[in-house]
Amino acid sequence: MKVLNQDKDRFYNIIKVFYKSHSYQGILFGWNIYGTNANGRNFLLGTRDTEQEALQITNEITALMDKGVDKYSIPELIEDIEIEIEIEKLEGRLC
């Protein structure tokens, strides 16, 4: 499967995906999502704030690969401020 990374600047041909925590000096910075190509080389596809998000994306990619889908794009990371703005918009519609 060809996977477009989170930065939207590179496609990688991968055969499997996985994630692992990314820490520096004992501080957790997030969860990196990697793809492995046929030669066994790993490529960073994106990063998520929570393990749940990383698991969801890797599960989605794996399921699509199993179904024969040939392309996938890692979703962009949405900043908290953007989420708050969207929530305010939705609340405004409900009032």
When pLDDT is cut at 50, 70 and 90, the band that residue 15 belongs to is: very high
Q: What is the mean pLDDT of residues 44-56?
A: 95
For the ranges 34-38, 66-70, 85-89, which has the lowest average pLDDT? Answer: 85-89
77: how many CB neighbours lie within 10 A of its CB? 14
Q: How far apart are CA 67 and CA 54, in angstroms?
A: 20
Please, are residues 77 and 46 in contact by the beta-carbon 8 Å criterion? yes
pLDDT at 79: 64
When pLDDT is cut at 50, 70 and 90, the band that residue 81 belongs to is: low
